Structure 1
Amino acid sequence: MNTTLGPHIFCFMKESVQDRPAAVCGADRPTARESAFTTITLKIFGKRERKNHMNWNIITDSSCDLLPSTSPDGRIRLASVPFTIRIGERDFVDDEHLDTMEMLYAMEQEHSAGHTSCPTPDAWLAQFEQADCAIAITISSQLSGSMNSALAARDMALEKNPDKKIVILDSLSTGPEVLLCVKEIERLIRHGLSFDDIAAHARGFLQKTKILFALSSFDNLIKNGRIHRLTGMLAKALGIWGIGSGSDEGKIAFESKARGAKKVVQTLVSTMKEHGFIGGNVAISHCDNLALAQTLKNSILDIWENTSIEILPTRGLCSYYAERGGLIVSY
């Protein structure tokens, strides 16, 4: 019996068509010239905002597992605009009040396929209006209409205030990769770089980071018809995990499978080596599986001691797709 899970591409994070806003022109995707420029290192930028006392909003959709927060000096605010997750007859708003465990339980009890709706333009607009400088990072535009919503909101905000500084970055990813970019932007703000330099550097940063995922449950894929029910059930019974990555185009693909948690960790670490990882910053998101996330962290540190690793639980959207037990890692 064939239990193969891949290697076909499947954009399993797409919302229903009716939940996506219409396409908007003028996306802030880098040109070839911009891409070359963004590889310039921080030392070469040199340009700094004179006495940078502006207020900054770093805004993500809830594909990023960081919760909203404000820096101690009040200058840097991390904001989040929520997806909505529909399970049966219930809507779960993916904000800081969401009980993720309750949502997971509802998913596991529901027999029909759920779906997600991206943040509205009004939700993005409300955040753009709250700071002098706004940098928004969205889930991959290949997986969701969130970026189109953000672009529509940017246009509305600039109509009201043409001098406001707003940039929209397409992460071409999700989850912990967005988190790493947020942390990098915070660092650049603290170094006093200009708005334009920060935006350019962040684009280049997103082109260099990677994302991997490991799934132990395939219920969502079964319910949505992506995997045959018998194949998915057999894989789960045998302890087979699906392991994949994000492509440069911002899509998601299963690439291999592993049997058992130990083999999963070995495969993830081996893939990091293949990608040329030599140490640095790593973010691991887990869906109710802190023990395995910690095991992965220890395995990474055994090889790359000069690595800073942050572990955090998945919020609603990443929990919906990773499902209970799943891991997502970016570096």
Structure 2
Amino acid sequence: MNTTLCIFCFMKESVQDRPAAVCGADRPTARESAFLTITLKIFGKRERKNYMNWNIITDSSCDLLPSTSPDGRIRLASVPFTIRIGERDFVDDEHLDTMEMLSAMEQEHSAGHTSCPTPDAWLAQFEQADCAIAITISSQLSGSMNSALAARDMALEKNLDKKIVILDSLSTGPEVLLCVKEIERLIRQGLSFDDIAAHARNFLQKTKILFALSSFDNLIKNGRIHRLTGMLAKALGIWGIGSGSDEGKITFESKARGAKKVVQTLVSTMKEHGFIGGNVAISHCDNLALAQTLKNSILDIWENTSIEILPTRGLCSYYAERGGLIVSY
């Protein structure tokens, strides 16, 4: 922009030096006007390239709510799942009352189910920015990825110049959150769209996710564990501890009795996975106290760790159930 301003100042001085009768009251010549117009267009394009707007889009498996950066360059958008409990539909957007949904779940005897975002919901977000990066819940757990891919094809049919990439998180919740934060950091560093997409894919291959469940109501209602077994485990204070596999599936690995043992097991597993400090995200389903205890235990061992705690939104609340924790690192 400095070059443009200098050219403009030079032209203005040249015009001012010319007699009024010749220049027509300080107006530049047609040649000067054309040169200025071309110059401004060139620099305008460069300015736009440096300040492209971005839309980072997740489905509502990510516990971050929609937001926009202070400079307006980066939007975080969310496309909602719909959660069916009995005869009620709960849309997992920023207006959802998660506590009301949890209460409905606990009072309902039949199994609930979820519906992934539609292609139209993804498409609406892809059309909002020059560059769109979408991150979905694991394709092994939902059809959200397929909806996003269909929407991308529709968006590119309308505008081939759109930059859109779809990332399969092979995970959910806080692991998606960590990837969003990493993408924001890379955008501010000025990396290209392709470099950011490649880095984000690699990032998701390195992060891990663990979860701890204190309630097994959903598993019982869906017939995944025997009712008596689930009720006995809950009565004895037994938690189920699991993780996400490299293929994007959820597996139960161990159990722990009592909240203290749960924290110890989670921290021990992080050690086994080679965690040495860095960024951690903890999502809790109506259990801030235990999330804070886990945070403190992590910091006692790894001081050079940044930890963000968030309440679960609708989808993760549906699966984690009241009291559950999900942690990614």
Shift of 1:52: 2.1
Count of paired positions = 328
C-alpha separation between the residues in 2 aligned to 1:105 and 1:38? 65
Shift of 1:195: 0.0
Shift of 1:137: 0.1
Shift of 1:30: 56
Instruction: Name the TM-score, length of structure 1 as normaliser.
Output: 0.85
SS at match of 1:38: helix
Aligned pair in 2 of structure 1 residues 263, 43: CA closer, same or farther (>3 Å)? farther
| Runs of 4+ residues deviating >4 angstroms | 1-5, 9-51
Shift of 1:125: 0.2
**Equivalent pair of 2:102/2:321 in contact (CA under 8 Å):** yes
- 1:27-64 deviations in whole A, cap 9, x for unaligned? 99999999999999999999999962000000000000
- Structure 2: give runs of 5+ residues left out of the alignment: none
Most deviating of 42-51 and 89-98: 42-51
**Equivalent pair of 1:39/1:204 in contact (CA under 8 Å):** no
SS at match of 1:47: helix
**Equivalent pair of 1:214/1:241 in contact (CA under 8 Å):** yes
**Equivalent pair of 1:244/1:252 in contact (CA under 8 Å):** yes
Shift of 1:229: 0.1
C-alpha separation between the residues in 2 aligned to 1:18 and 1:109? 82
SS at match of 1:283: strand
Aligned pair in 2 of structure 1 residues 316, 244: CA closer, same or farther (>3 Å)? same
Shift of 1:147: 0.2
Task: Map 1:29-108; keep pairs closer than 5 Å.
Answer: 52-108=50-106
**Equivalent pair of 1:82/1:93 in contact (CA under 8 Å):** yes
Flag the structure with higher helix content: 2
The root-mean-square deviation of aligned C-alpha atoms, in Å, is 20.0
Aligned pair in 2 of structure 1 residues 182, 208: CA closer, same or farther (>3 Å)? same
Most deviating of 144-153 and 14-23: 14-23
Identity %: 98
C-alpha separation between the residues in 2 aligned to 1:51 and 1:190? 13
- 1:183-237 deviations in whole A, cap 9, x for unaligned? 0000000000000000000000000000000000000000000010000000000
Aligned pair in 2 of structure 1 residues 326, 242: CA closer, same or farther (>3 Å)? same
SS at match of 2:37: coil
**Equivalent pair of 2:15/2:23 in contact (CA under 8 Å):** no
- 1:247-295 deviations in whole A, cap 9, x for unaligned? 0000000000000000000000000000000000000000000000000
C-alpha separation between the residues in 1 aligned to 2:18 and 2:84? 14
Aligned pair in 2 of structure 1 residues 51, 165: CA closer, same or farther (>3 Å)? closer
SS at match of 1:305: coil
Q: Which structure would you say has the larger Rg?
A: 2
- Structure 1: give runs of 5+ residues left out of the alignment: none
- 1:287-315 deviations in whole A, cap 9, x for unaligned? 00000000000000000000000000000
Most deviating of 113-122 and 31-40: 31-40
Aligned pair in 2 of structure 1 residues 221, 296: CA closer, same or farther (>3 Å)? same
Shift of 1:4: 72
